[in-house]
Structure 1
């Protein structure tokens, strides 16, 4: 067990990528969108490149002012990356993207890991999304969560401190009474470093770690988290 002082009251989680299969969902959406234009002849390389760029564009747009909801972020990001690829986005493209991202399956180990952790801790999601867009995905996870705090509620996207501070106010805790589990370095580890929040990095894809945002613990997935945080 990780030595925690004080013992957390709440474990907070990033959702997309950390708990659910975000990268696969974005690739499925992009493949469907490209398939309309390339008649099923799109390559895996084309799909991956456009999906990577779509995720990057969405993160970039989240950092712009003024705040706009995540549905609009996704739609404008899709318009941008399709335009750069030589295509025009259609309403069907927009609906394909949003419909796939409204229900994303959890990583296989996640429901059981969360169920074990819930025996001792309150569990929360802090996510760069809208309330409506994440509802189906939270249901897909299966394990009940005590709090789901979104960028829409705080009107701020990670790594803006405001989203975390809003979450702590909602949960009635201080940062020292939580530990955060996330996959994103810029969106999660950065703010944990800046605010002094205990952190667990879930490195699902073997990314190089930014030395400026070193977490307390690194795991490949959530399967080892109960052993780390629960007494033996």
Structure 2
């Protein structure tokens, strides 16, 4: 396959275009300082386990609210000394439950322990602030120049595990102000739109259907560009989509070297991918 044969790039955003791991770990520091999760990898793995569980159990929960609940749950478990879950394996939830003094919180409850749910009510500022921290997550330095070039060759689209309001600030930061836009995303699809979080197949099926309806592009002309193997690369491969794995150095969440190595294309940065396209079309 050649990169130049595709018409649409379907991007994951957080982890691929935006350094969400740095953003998340920085926002978590106030509750992690002095704990066993103080290191960035440990904090991210704990975050990943709780987030994956809630996303599977509550696919229609808005991402900003889900993030607030993840924050409350992590704080509650750290204070109570409860064991934090390992990240979900491919194709399923962590199946984590939380023991309280009298009950085990199951899938029919709020999605967090009773004390964590109460914490969201009692201390809304800290948890809500974490849920709204998406706008502050830094953009990788190669992202904007790469997107500006790639937009001259492809229709740029997004399938992201967030809600519309949360993505809006990131979209403005990437595209630039209306008076001086660097490029535009031709279509944006979120978990809120699809009613499902990746890697649930419903999320990707929703995006592909909309791309064909709105842009007239079939799935075999779509290239999925993503950092997370668990959320994007592996499930896309399973349904026959071409994939470009952006293996950002030091990434923790959703990584799998073996599965990632099966991607159609592999690059360390989006800038490297843009350079590969330039060479392919004779513009390097």
TM range (shorter): 0.7 to 0.9
Q: Are 1:133 and 2:170 matched, yes or no?
A: no
**1:217 positional shift:** 1.5
- The Cα offsets for residues 147-168 of structure 1, whole Å up to 9 and x where unpaired, read as 1110100101111222122112
Single out whichever of 51-60 and 121-130 deviates more from structure 2. 51-60
Indicate which of 44, 53, 63 corresponds to 1:60. 53
Q: Give the gaps of 5 or more residues in structure 1.
A: 36-40
Greater C-alpha Rg: 2
Following TM superposition, by how much is the alpha carbon of 1:119 offset from its aligned partner in structure 2, in angstroms?
A: 0.6
How far is 1:220 from its partner?
0.8
Cα offset, 1:100, TM superposition: 1.9
Does the residue aligned with 2:139 lie in a helix, a strand or coil? coil
Shift of residue 213, structure 1, vs aligned partner: 7.1
Classify the secondary structure of the residue corresponding to 2:257: coil
CA deviation map 1:76-117 (0-9, x unaligned): 222221111016642121122123213433100000001111
* Residue deviations 1:2-35 (CA, integer Å, cap 9, x gap): 6258x2221111000100010011012112x328
2:276 corresponding residue in structure 1: 228
Counterpart-to-counterpart distance in 2, 1:213 and 1:186: 13
Residue of structure 2 equivalent to 1:170: 210
Return the alpha-carbon distance in structure 1 between the equivalents of residues 59 and 50 of structure 2. Answer: 16
Residues 174-223 of structure 1: CA deviation (Å, up to 9, x unaligned):
21010011011110012111111100111113555134872012111111
Equivalent runs, 1:33-44 vs 2, <5 Å: 33-34=30-31, 42=34
Q: Which ranges of structure 2 fall in alignment gaps of 5 or more residues?
A: 81-115, 176-182
Across the aligned residues of Structure 1 and Structure 2, the Cα RMSD in angstroms comes to: 2.4
TM-score normalised over the length of structure 2: 0.71
**Alignment partner of 1:17 is 2:61:** no
Equivalence for 1:84? 77
Contact 2:157-2:186 at 8 Å conserved across structures: yes
How far is 1:229 from its partner? Answer: 3.0
The aligned counterpart of 2:131 is 98
Distance 1:75 1:66 in 2: 15
Counterparts of residues 120-199 of structure 1 (less than 5 Å): 120-142=153-175, 143-172=183-212, 173-199=217-243
SS in 2 for 1:170: helix
Task: Return the TM-score normalized by structure 1.
Answer: 0.86
Contact 1:54 1:81 in 2 (8 A): yes
Deviation per residue, 1:114-165 (Å, 9 max, x gap):
1111111100111011001111011112342111110100101111222122
2:66 and 2:131 in contact (8 A); partners too: no
Once the 2 structures are TM-superposed, how far is the Cα of residue 227 of structure 1 from its aligned partner?
2.8
Instruction: State whether residues 50 and 81 of structure 1, in contact with CA within 8 Å, keep that contact through their aligned partners in structure 2.
Output: no
Q: Following the alignment from structure 2 to structure 1, what is the Cα–Cα distance between the partners of residues 130 and 7? A: 36
Report the secondary structure of 1:56's partner residue: helix
Does residue 71 in structure 1 map to residue 64 in structure 2?
yes
